[in-house]
A and B are shown apart, each in its own frame.
Chain A
Amino acid sequence: MKKSKVKVRICLGTACFVQGGADLLLYNDFVDPAILADCEIEGCSCLDECKVGNGSAPYVSINDKIYSGVNQDMFCKLLAEAVKNA
């Protein structure tokens, strides 16, 4: 059976964009294409996490679970894991 794609949303609200969201948007340059093939990545506006204040920007939502303070390395790992478990 064909696996359903991993749903990834990168927050591109102002707070997230300036604190690393912009780096994540370059995902084509640093994530393994094989992994990307199984993901559906989109940008989204402020997830409202930055206003709650637990954790730090940038925030990323993977299959509706929120991760905070995501950098490029962490992004690769999170996607790889999500694809494996899908």
Chain B
Amino acid sequence: MNNIFIDIDYAQIFKHGQKIGGDVYLLSKSPEENHIVSTLSDGLGSGVKANVLASLTAHMAHRLSFSPIDLSHSAQIIMDTLPVCKERKISYSTFTIADIRYADDLEKIDVNLVEYDNPPALRFRGAEPVSWERSKTELQREGAFKKEVISHSMFELEIGDRLVTFSDGVTQSGLGKGLPLGWRLDGVRKFIAEEIEKDPDISSRELSRAIVQKAYSLDGLASKDDITCSVIYVRRPRRLLIVTGPPFLKESDEIMGQKIREFDGKKIVSGGTTAQIVSRVFGAKLTLDLSCWSKDVPPASKMEGIDLVTEGMLTLSKVATILEKRINPADLPNDPAKKFVEMLLDSDQVHFLVGTKINEAHQDPNIPVEIGIRRTIIGRLRKALEDIYLKETSQEYL
């Protein structure tokens, strides 16, 4: 698994009273080609018409980015296709395309950024704003009253770097409501730097949300335009190890202990017998925590060195069901399954260490069949994590 992770997310609030946005954000990943394209487009005006134009632009930008044509040329094609508004003599939509390519090991992440008429994107290294050179190309289109400028830049992103793009609904928020000129680029830059300062590891999801929320509140909770913001953050992956099932051979208990000890990340042990083995190998005491359980999920235990210790099959199958049904953890009872799900959702990479010894107790015909087979449940968990939550997963047997 890679040692670098690209965390991308966006947030959006539509203009007050509109059910559809004139800002369109598109994100596509092509893992086989190590290629990500993030496009933000703002159609002139708001509502359906603006949405159609912005979608058109965003989709074109996307298609072209995934084709072998170089990005500046693609931008030109888009510009030539975009109609110019008859009355206002300006083009119908703007765009920011971040085309991200990376080496297999992710050690080098190249960004190709093309910007047309959106507020300029911002970069941060940690909480420090970074400025960089952009080259400008001027285009004179038929029917347009002025030349239009496309700016283009190329740079590398390193661990701890962020690239933030947004629509003018962000920079112009607050206009006429206490801020004579709106929030403006400087205000936005300062706000982001402060947010990162407060929480250096803030996720792209949280940061984009914070920015959009701030703009919304500057607009007096009635946005005057669509507000959209996307964040790209390069960081170390958050890893989670799930250990479940006793090893097939007793001699492997030590190996299991070793693997747990060496794992760099959070750790969950799931299964009563498994927990006893780990407790013995670690020489750590295992105590049941009777404050955290529900009628479907037995109590968790506490053990030094392990972040969460749960019962096995009931808990795992409950967790699988929660993931498959996309239940929000906030709506769950306070039991170990909830904690388990929260830890899964907080991770980027999940590794399963699966012991294959069969538990005689579960051969009992009185026990519901669905808790029967460990491998089936792990298969469900991995599928849900990958397909629904886009996590990376891996597995090894012991």
Q: Say if the beta carbon of A37 comes within 8 Å of chain B.
A: no
A14 engages B311 (CB within 8 Å): yes
Contact of B69 with A by CB under 8 A: no
Interface residue A44 (Cβ < 8 Å from any Cβ of B): yes
Which of A18, A22, A45, A56 is in CB contact (< 8 Å) with B272? Answer: A45
Q: How many residues of B contact A (CB 8 A)?
A: 25
Could you say which residues of chain B place their CB within 8 Å of the CB of A42?
A: 288, 290
Interface residues of A in 19-74 (CB under 8 A from B): 19, 21-22, 25, 42-46, 50-51, 56-57
Residues of B within 8 A of A43 (CB): 288, 290, 299
Q: Is the Cβ of A12 less than 8 Å from the Cβ of B298?
A: yes
B210 within 8 A of A: no
With A14-B362, A18-B371, A21-B298 as contacts: A46 and B272 at CB distance below 8 Å = yes
Contact of A15 among B275, B301, B364 (CB under 8 A): B364
Name the B residues within 8 Å of A44 (CB-CB). Answer: 288
Does B360 touch A at the CB level, under 8 Å?
Answer: yes
Given contacts A42-B288, A43-B288, A46-B272, contact A12 B371 (CB under 8 A): no
Across the interface, do B298 and A14 meet the contact criterion of CB distance under 8 Å? yes
Contacts of A17 in B (CB 8 A): 298, 311, 314
- List CB contacts (< 8 Å) of B297-335 with chain A: 298-299, 301, 311-314
Is B360 touching A18 in the complex (CB atoms < 8 A)? no
| Cβ < 8 Å to A, chain B residues 261-286 | 272-273, 275-276, 286
Which residue of B is nearest A52, CB measured? B360
- Chain B residues with Cβ below 8 Å from A22 are 293, 295, 298
List which B200-256 residues lie within 8 A (CB) of chain A: none
CB distance from B310 to the nearest CB of A (A): 11
Q: Determine if B361 and A15 form an interchain contact, defined as CB atoms under 8 angstroms apart.
A: yes
Q: Nearest B residue to A43 by beta-carbon distance?
A: B288
Decide if B368 touches A13 in the complex (CB within 8 Å): no
Chain A residues lying within 8 Å of B371, measured Cβ to Cβ, are 14, 18
B243 CB to closest chain A CB (Å) equals 15
Q: Is B366 an interface residue (CB 8 A)?
A: yes
Cβ contacts under 8 Å, A14 to chain B: 272, 298, 311-314, 359, 361-362, 367, 371
State A21–B313 Cα separation when bound (angstroms). 15
Question: B364 and A50: CB pair below 8 A?
Answer: yes
**Nearest B residue to A22, CB-CB:** B295
Is the CB–CB distance between B360 and A13 below 8 Å? no
Q: How far is A83 from B286 in the complex, measured between Cα atoms in Å?
A: 28
A45 to B359, CA, bound (A): 14
Closest 8 CB pairs of A and B: A45-B272, A43-B288, A50-B361, A15-B361, A17-B298, A51-B360, A13-B272, A46-B272
In the complex, 10 of the A-B residue pairs with CB atoms within 8 angstroms, ordered by the A residue number, are A12-B311, A13-B361, A14-B313, A15-B362, A18-B367, A22-B293, A25-B299, A43-B288, A45-B275, A50-B361
Task: Please list the residues of chain B having a beta carbon within 8 angstroms of any beta carbon in chain A.
Answer: 272-273, 275-276, 286, 288, 290, 293, 295, 298-299, 301, 311-314, 359-362, 364, 366-368, 371
